[in-house]
Amino acid sequence: MKFSHILTSTVSLLTLGTAVDGHFTRDRNNAVGPNRPFKPLPHSPPRKKVCHVRSHGDSSRDDSDFILSALKKCNRGGKVVFDANKEYTIGTALDLTFLKNIDLEILGRITFTADTDYWQANSFKHTFQNATTFFNLGGEDVNIYGGGTLDGNGQVWYDLYAEDALILRPILFGVIGLHGGTIGPLKLRYSPQWYHLVANSSDVLFDGIDITGYSSSENEAKNTDGWDTYRSSNIVIQNSVINNGDDCVSFKPNSTDILVQNLHCNGSHGISVGSLGQYVGEVDIVKNILVYNISMYNASDMARIKVWPGTSSAMSEDLQGGGGSGAVSNITYDKMYIENVDYAIEITQCYGQKNLTLCNEYPSNLTISDVHIKNIYGTTSDAHDPIVGTIVCSSPDVCSDIYAENIDVESPSGTNDFVCTNVDESLLQVNCTSG
C-alpha cells in the first residue's frame, strides 16, 4: 500500500457522469470506492447555462464583486467557470451559503489577500475552537472541481502567529451548511490554519484534493489540519494527497457516518477522532467512522483518539478545555501503512493534561467503545522507541470494547511494545507493557 497504490485507485470526477440533452450530469455515488458511503449521496441534475468569472488581472484589486455576480447569475442550474491561466484575488469575506444546483469549475488560481487586519476583523467566526473562515460555502447541490488552485497566502499568518498565538487565522475552505455536494479535484495551498472546516453539512464528497503549503521561514505552519468535520454527517473524503503540519483528518464533535479512504498523508498528526470533551456542558458524539487504506509518512500518529479529561487542562496558550461529556463509538481503522510515524496507535483520555495522576483522579466524562483498529504495518520513528503505541484510558469505567489485531509494526530497535492502561488487554493483539 505504497503511494503508487493509492494513486492507481484515484478516479477523476470529470469522467463520472452522463450527458443529458447535451449537458453533463453527475452521479456522486459512482465516484465513491472501494467502500460505499454510509448513506447514498443525492443525485446532481444537469447544468444548463455557463457564466465566466471576470478578473482585474491585478493582484492588488479585489475580484469578489465579479465572483458574486457570476454566482448569482448562474445559480439554480448553471456552471460558473474560473478560466484557466487567470489569476483571481479575493479580499472580501464572502457568504456563499445561498448556492443551489450550481457547479464551480475552477481552472485558474484564486488567492486570498494578505491583509491580516481585515481578515481578523471580517472573517466568519465559528463557535468551535475559535475557528474563522475566509468564506462560507453552503446551500444545496454544489459541485466544485476543475483542478485549479486556492491559495491562502499563509506565510504572513505563520509569521504573525509566532508573535501572537491568540490571533484568529482564517481557514482556507469553509463548507458551512452544505447539503449535497462534490469538492474536487482541486489544489489547496498555504492555508493560514485548517484547510477545511466542514460544519453543519451533510452528503458531501471530497475527491482528488491536493494539499500542501509549508512555511518558508523559521516559523512553522501550525494547526494546518487537512479536514475538520463538525456537526456533520455522511461525509466522504477520498483519493487525496495531504502534506501538512497537523491532523490529516480530524473528526470533531458530532461527526457521524464519515468515510475516509485512499489517502496519502505526510507530516501530519494522523487521522484523529477529536479532540472531544473540551467544553463543560457540551455533549460530543462521534460515531460510525470508517478509515480505510491510508499511507502515513513522517507523522506523530496514525490512528488517534484524543479526549479531554474531566478536569481543566491546557494543551497550549490558545487551546484549553476539559470536563465535557459524550461518546465515541463504532470507529474502524483498517489497512494502514506507516513509515517514520511516532505512534502507530494513540488513544488518550488525558488530552491536554500532563499530570496523569490528576487525570486519573478526574477521569473523562466521555466514553470510548466499539473501536476496531486492524491491519497496520510499517515502522515507527525513534521518538518513543521501544514503544510503538499507547492505548491509555483515564478509567476502565469509560473505556470498553477496544480491539487491535494484525498490528505488524516495528520500532527502529525491532520492538513492537505498547503502553496499555485501564483497558481490556485480552482484546488487544499487541504486546502490552507497563511503559
Contacts of 156 (CB under 8 A, 6+ apart): 114, 116
pLDDT at residue 435, as a whole number: 53
493509492: which residue's cell?
Answer: 6
483571481: which residue's cell?
Answer: 88
Q: Which three three-digit cell numbers place residue 331?
A: 470507529
Q: In order of start, what are the domains of the chain with their CATH numbers?
A: 3-433 (2.160.20.10)
CA-based nearest residue to 170, from 132, 214, 226, 216: 132
pLDDT at residue 252, as a whole number: 97
295 C-beta neighbours (distance < 10 Å), count? 23
Residues acting as catalytic residues: 269
Cα-to-chain-centroid distance, residue 1: 21
On whether the CB atoms of residues 191 and 171 are closer than 8 A, the answer is yes
* Torsion sign across C-alpha atoms 349, 197, 122, 155: positive
CA-based nearest residue to 212, from 226, 198, 222: 226
What does each of the 435 residues of the chain score in pLDDT, given as a tens digit? Answer: 343 344 333 333 433 454 433 344 568 999 999 999 999 999 999 999 999 999 999 999 999 999 999 999 999 999 999 999 999 999 999 999 999 999 999 999 999 999 999 999 999 999 888 899 999 999 999 999 999 999 999 999 999 999 999 999 999 999 999 999 999 999 999 999 999 999 999 999 999 999 999 999 999 999 999 999 999 999 999 999 999 999 999 999 999 999 999 999 999 999 999 999 999 999 999 999 999 999 999 999 999 999 989 988 888 877 888 899 999 999 999 999 999 999 999 999 989 888 888 888 888 999 999 999 999 999 999 999 999 999 999 899 999 999 999 999 999 999 999 999 999 999 999 999 965
363 C-beta neighbours (distance < 10 Å), count? 20
pLDDT at residue 434, as a whole number: 66
Helix boundaries (H) for 25-142: 64-74, 116-122
Q: How far is CA 410 from CA 65, 221, 277, 343, in A?
A: 55, 30, 32, 10
DSSP state of 36: P
pLDDT at residue 25, as a whole number: 52
CA torsion 415-416-422-424 (nearest 10°) is -130
41 C-beta neighbours (distance < 10 Å), count? 24
Q: Which residues pair with 409 in a beta bridge?
A: 378
pLDDT at residue 356, as a whole number: 83
